[in-house]
């Protein structure tokens, strides 16, 4: 597409897809990671290419991460996007809701466990219940981009598996890794295949890097 535009001296805008990994290792500040994870998932109601979508969490801390993540997701105030108190608004179109719900249901059928939400809301507007699911590598969520307020959580046994899953998709826009281990940091810097890699922080599209740490 870009080459064709160049030949004709045409302006063109290309959008990069993202199924961005958000990796959390045992040494991380878990509260800071969870707080940023929720924001990173629901930025623009989950409809941002750079939003974190796949949460890859070490088994040792996965249960606690899920508990805290779900609690913060459920506490989000859903409402009118023009209301300053609203933390999660509607999706752009009715088709977006239908498409997202179809992806969620396919994941559930493939064995994903819904931890919260995962269905359209019965209210005026294109609202979808903020949700999260625990997924296996057989789930459609493993390699597809879920464009809405649904988080896919993958449990991994070690850093090797975390890096493999993070890189094992056709997308590569952004990645975030949370660890206070210097050796793990070095490996993430060198081995994550992504256009942007941030450590113990996340790239907020409107205001640059953001971290609660």
Question: Residues with catalytic annotation?
Answer: 15, 49
The span from the CA of 173 to the CA of 49, in Å, is: 8
Q: Provide the token pair at 30.
A: 């878990």
Residues 88, 116: contact at Cβ < 8 Å?
A: no
Q: Yes or no: say if 144 and 161 are a contact pair by the CB < 8 Å rule.
A: no
DSSP assignments along 61-108, one per residue: HHHHHHHHHHHHHHHS-B--TTSTT-SB---S-HHHHHHHHHHHHHHH
Residue count of the chain? 213
């Amino acid at each position: 597409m870009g080459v064709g535009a160049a030949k004709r001296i045409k302006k063109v805008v290309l959008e990069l897809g993202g199924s961005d990994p958000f990796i959390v290792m045992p040494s991380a500040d878990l509260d800071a990671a969870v707080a940023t994870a929720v924001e990173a998932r629901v930025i623009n109601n989950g409809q941002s290419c750079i939003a974190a979508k796949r949460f890859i969490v070490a088994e040792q801390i996965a249960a606690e991460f899920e508990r805290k993540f779900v609690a913060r997701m459920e506490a989000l105030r859903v409402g009118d996007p023009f209301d300053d108190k609203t933390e999660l608004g509607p999706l752009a179109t009715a088709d977006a809701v239908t498409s997202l719900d179809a992806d969620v249901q396919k994941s559930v059928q493939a064995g994903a466990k819904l931890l919260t939400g995962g269905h359209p809301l019965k209210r005026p507007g294109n609202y979808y219940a903020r949700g999260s699911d625990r997924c296996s590598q057989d789930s459609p969520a493993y390699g597809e981009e879920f464009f809405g307020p649904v988080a896919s959580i993958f449990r991994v046994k070690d850093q090797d598996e975390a890096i493999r899953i993070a890189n094992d998709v056709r997308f590569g826009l952004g990645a975030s890794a949370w660890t206070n281990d210097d050796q793990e940091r070095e490996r993430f810097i060198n081995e994550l295949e992504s256009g942007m890699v941030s450590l113990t922080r996340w790239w907020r599209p409107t205001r640059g890097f953001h971290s609660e740490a």
